[in-house]
Structure 1
Amino acid sequence: MALALKDALEMAKHGNKALQAQVLEEIHAQEMTREAKGGLLPSISANAAYSRYFERPIIFLPGSFAGTDKAVQDVAFGGKNAFDVFVSLHQPILAPTIQQLKEGSKINEQLADQKTADLKSRVALQVSTRYLDILMMDRQLGLLEQSLKRNVKALEDARSLLTQGRGLKSDTLRSFVAVENLRSSVSYLKNRMEVFSMELKRLIGLDEPIDIVLTDQLEIGNSQGEFYQVEEALQIAEQNRNDLHIQQLAIDYQQNKLKVAQAGLLPELSLIGQYQVQAQADNLKFSQYALPRTSFLGLRLSVPIFNGNRTKSQISQARIKARQEEIRLSDLKDEVKTELATIISKWKEAVTQLGIQETTVKSAELNHQIIDDRFRNGLGSRLELTDAELALTQAKINYLNAVYNLRMLHVSLQHALGLLRLS
């Protein structure tokens, strides 16, 4: 399966399981907002009850009311079967606590959105890193396999010369060690590529047991000229980094919790109402029942007076938490600034190293060509040619490392700026 980096990022956007779980967290936050809004809507409930009295209920009346000379007389009343059906209404009119909870749920929903965006950025970094790792190892593997072929040929030549009595045993042993070392490196790289390919497929949500072939090039193109000043980079990061937005929303959320606690000191006003139907009798002849009705509509005012200073303690706790989040935001900004300064410094050095390695490869190629000509004309030894070949291979690997380092720094810089996205 041919796979470009942009295609891998697009597949991760839909196939990464961590992202799928986070999207459900967004939906959960939206439902919490709906729940909080529902607290300001009217509540209507219907209730029905039936009671069977084995002895009639008792009330106590003045004896004069009951026709006796007792000061207090107990009187049995009502039927043994009691039915009660009622519908209740409760509508908050002034509810500061519920209103603040609704605002807090909106902030929580924004937090979930930002956490999803932050996770997407981190997944994009992981996918890009693994993609570049595999590209780098594939290029290294190609160089090592070419070097292995040349060294196998050198070992065959050394053995032939040793058999003819024209070579040294030490030269043959040296060629043998070089070949075995290269075989070990090739085997190690192949195994690492297989492991990293499995990790890349997991990140992009590719479950099918198919091989992937990366189509992008390791070379970075024109992006090596993207320099930033630290303050300029910090301004870009503050506008785009999701973790900074998350921390700011965490401050807003704690401040909202402070308002919720403060709202606990305010009065609440509600509209209440009820419609009730009752019936009592000693039998179950429903057609003969009288069904008296009762209904009312009114206002209920609740004023908090004293609750053991619990509300004041909650207010103090919320202020402390809000201050903690402000300190964390300040520390995070300092951390981001240090991260950006480090990456920019490494970036400039990586560009310099890339230029050096380009020159080194050209010099190693020229040296190898000279030694090869000398060897073909009988003026140089196989050992010199082997050393020149190993030096050329190492120079090319060093160049690849420089290109890889620059690509990785570019990805890290884009992520640190908050510009790395899945799409």
Structure 2
Amino acid sequence: MHRILILVLLLLFASPFGVKAIRVNHTPPDTLDLKACLLLGLENSRSIKKALMDEESARYYRNEVKASGLPQISAYGNYNNFVDVFPQAVPGGLFGPGEADEVQVIALGVPQSLQAGVTVNQLIFNSSYLIGLKAARTSEEFYKMLSSQTEEQVIYDIAMNYLRVAQMELQRENLNANVVQLKGLERILEAQVANDLVRKVDLNRVKVNLSTLESETENLETEIFRGLSYLKLIMGIPVDTPLELEKSEVSPRYILDFKVADLDPENRKDIQILDIQKTLYDYEYKSIKSTNHPSLVGFADFNRNSFSTNFDFLSESKVWYQGSLVGLKLQIPIFDGFAVKSRAAQSKVRQQQLLIDRSQTLDAAKMEYNNATKKYFNALQTLRANEENLLLAEDVLKETTLLYKEGLSPLTDLLEAESTQRQAQANYNNQLIQVRIAQLEILKSTGQITRIIS
């Protein structure tokens, strides 16, 4: 038993800390609508994964704070080998013959000693510990709120980039339709030029317009590729994943179904985060002040000791002496040179700065909401005007095409009508996207951006 006590003086326990497994989503389908993109992004976004890890770290921190109030147990061992036993000066005659006014120097103690034991400390009362527990719980809420804010930002970023790519794809469809139309006209004119029915300059004019449209289409393809690559990046999926967006999100029905919500700043995550920070600063101030409060700790020490002139501690006959100790330790701060007062004053200053930040954030929220609603209603008005222009341009194109086929209208009128219709269609598509973007900005400013996935 004594051999085991000598050899095992300190036990070290190691346990791996696990991190929650992050699910990797399967390869998404080739065609996705906005809701599917958002759900996929929420599951795979790297920003959200990091925010969840911060949230998990906050839970571990709360456990760490809590642990300081639980019993603290440790084992220890001491081995001393005095090559020369420390000399001690004693009055003469204390341990034998000698005069009282003399000083005798003797070696007290034995050359070798061995001690092994266990200490236990238990916190009984400490104001800072109780406040720290509350602050740790609040800190966990703080990181949960940050995770929610990150999710909202990811939703907003994905939706905005989705709409921008959809806008370019609509523009590409419009250009492709016009390219097909011009190629058909080009074939007709080539036949007419061959039969000397029209001038070659008319054919060349169509070829120039066709070349211009094809160049625009190629440039647009590059921009769409870049937009899709960035969308995949913020969604957290490999950039080489095939992805095609549905165009249903730019349907006019989404405009009719949208209701503008009133602004309630308390629903915004940035305001809620600042409120939690204020609570944390309150705890910080109380914790600093509590360092002037008394603290009480209980302790105990249980040990075995052995002494010898030689290293014979492994002998079965060796005598071991038991020692034990229990006690209380009371600590009462009296004067620290006003350090606590200065730290508390700094904490108060940080609280006042936070109040200023909150006031500015409230004003920014109102400004963001007002700008978004103003943009939305203006975009709606412009959309109605663009819709009327598109209908007129389509009518003009139909009539001009008829007149041209009947030989009553020159080619220049047809090309101009086609160009006007193409521009009117592009303006209408772009304005649809602007209305949807304004809707997103309203939802973001009111803290209701998650409505688009409900």
Which range, TM-score by smaller chain?
Answer: over 0.9
Deviates more, 1:259-268 or 1:207-216: 207-216
TM-score computed with the length of structure 1 as normaliser: 0.92
- The question of whether the paired residues in 2 share the 8 Å contact of 1:154 and 1:386 is answered with no
Q: Which amino acid aligns with 1:119?
A: T
Q: What secondary structure, in the 3-state scheme, does the structure 2 residue paired with 1:299 have? A: strand
Q: Give the Cα–Cα distance (whole angstroms) in 2 for the partners of residues 368 and 156 of structure 1.
A: 19
1:269 to 275, 291, 296: 296
CA shift digits 1:332-379 (9 cap, x unpaired):
111011000000011111111111111111111111111112112211
1:315-394 counterparts in 2 under 5 A?
A: 315-394=344-423
Say how many residue pairs are matched.
417
Q: Return the offset for 1:180.
A: 2.4
TM-score scaled by length of structure 2: 0.86
For the residue of structure 2 that corresponds to 1:56, the secondary structure is coil
Is the partner of 1:86 in helix, strand or coil?
strand
**Partner residue, 1:197:** 228
- 1:277–1:293 Cα contact (<8 Å) kept: yes
Structure 2 counterpart of 1:178: 209
Q: CA deviation at 1:276?
A: 2.3
- Tell me by how many angstroms 1:175 deviates: 3.2
Distance change >3 Å, CA 317–CA 367, structure 1 → 2: same
Cα distance, 1:408–1:153 mapped onto 2, change above 3 Å: same
Partner amino acid, structure 1, of 2:69? L
1:352 alignment partner AA:
Q
Give a deviation string over 1:91-115, Cα, whole Å, max 9, x none.
1111112222222222221111111
The partner residue of 1:132 within 152, 159, 163 is: 163
Q: What do you get for the CA RMSD once the two structures are aligned?
A: 2.2
For residues 151 and 139 of structure 1, what CA distance do their matches in structure 2 show? 18
Q: More relative contact order in 1 or in 2 (CA 8 Å, sep 6+)?
A: 1
On the 8 A contact 2:260/2:442 being kept in 1, the answer is no
C-alpha deviation, 1:208, in angstroms: 7.0
- Partner letter of residue 111 of structure 1? F
Tell whether 2:146 aligns with 1:118.
Answer: no
Answering whether residue 395 of structure 2 is matched by residue 395 of structure 1, we say no
Q: What residue is the counterpart of 1:301 in the other structure?
A: 330
Deviates more, 1:354-363 or 1:158-167: 158-167
Counterpart check, 1:245 vs 2:277? no
Q: 1:74 to 1:277 in 2, by over 3 A?
A: farther
Contact 1:350-1:406 within 8 A present in 2 as well: yes
Q: C-alpha displacement at 1:254, in angstroms?
A: 1.8
Q: CA deviation at 1:61?
A: 3.5
Report the 3-state secondary structure (helix = DSSP H, G, I; strand = E; otherwise coil) of the residue aligned with 1:65.
coil
2:283 match: secondary structure: helix
Aligned to 2:5: none
**Structure 2 CA distance for partners of 1:325 and 1:140, relative to 1, 3 Å:** same
Deviates more, 1:173-182 or 1:32-41: 173-182
Confirm or deny that 1:410 pairs with 2:442.
no
Distance of 2:169 and 2:368 partners within structure 1: 30
Q: Distance in 1 between matches of 2:113 and 2:349?
A: 55
Distance (whole Å) between structure 2 residues aligned to residue 318 and residue 71 of structure 1: 64
Distance of 2:104 and 2:334 partners within structure 1: 40
Q: Deviations over 1:32-74 (max 9, x none)?
A: 1100011111111111111111012334444453344346543
Structure that is richer in helix per residue:
1
1:222-233 correspondence runs (5 A):
222-224=254-256, 226-228=258-260, 232-233=262-263
Instruction: Return closer, same or farther for 1:90/1:284 CA change in 2, 3 Å cut-off.
Output: same
Code of the aligned partner of 1:167: R
* Paired position in structure 1 for 2:119: 88
Matches within 5 A, 1:131-150: 131-150=162-181
Q: Write the distance in 2 (CA, Å) between the matches of 1:362 and 1:346.
A: 24
Unaligned runs of 5+ in 2: 1-29
> Per the alignment, in what secondary structure is the counterpart of residue 94 of structure 2?
helix
Cα separation, partners in 2 of 1:401 and 1:226, compared to 1, 3 Å: same
Distance 1:375 1:147 in 2: 17
Tell me if the contact between 1:220 and 1:406 (Cα under 8 Å) persists in the aligned partners: no
Residues 358-404 of structure 1 show CA distances to partners (whole Å, capped at 9, x for unaligned) of 11111111111111121122110111011011111111111101111
Cα pair 2:69 2:122 within 8 Å, conserved: yes
Q: Where do 5+ consecutive residues of structure 1 fail to align?
A: none
Report the secondary structure of 2:70's partner residue: coil
Which residues in structure 2 correspond to 1:38-117 (within 5 Å)? 38-67=67-96, 68=98, 69-70=100-101, 72-117=103-148
Q: Distance in 2 between matches of 1:417 and 1:402?
A: 23
Indicate conservation of the 8 Å contact 2:229/2:239, yes or no. Answer: no
User: Relative to structure 1, is the Cα distance of residues 84 and 199 closer, same or farther in structure 2, using a 3 angstrom cutoff?
Assistant: same
Which residue of 285, 297, 312 corresponds with 1:285? Answer: 312
Please tell me whether the aligned partners of residues 233 and 239 of structure 2 are also in contact (alpha carbons under 8 angstroms).
no
Aligned residue type for 2:429: L
The counterpart of 1:215, out of the listed 246, 261, 269, is 246
Q: Which moved more, 1:308-317 or 1:211-220?
A: 211-220
Aligned partners of 2:256, 2:365: CA distance in 1, in Å? 22
Question: Residue 305 of structure 2 aligns to which amino acid in structure 1?
Answer: Q
- Aligned match of 1:25: 54
Query: How far, CA to CA, are the matches of 1:321 and 1:62 in structure 2?
Result: 64
The 2-side partners of 1:10 and 1:247 are apart by: 28
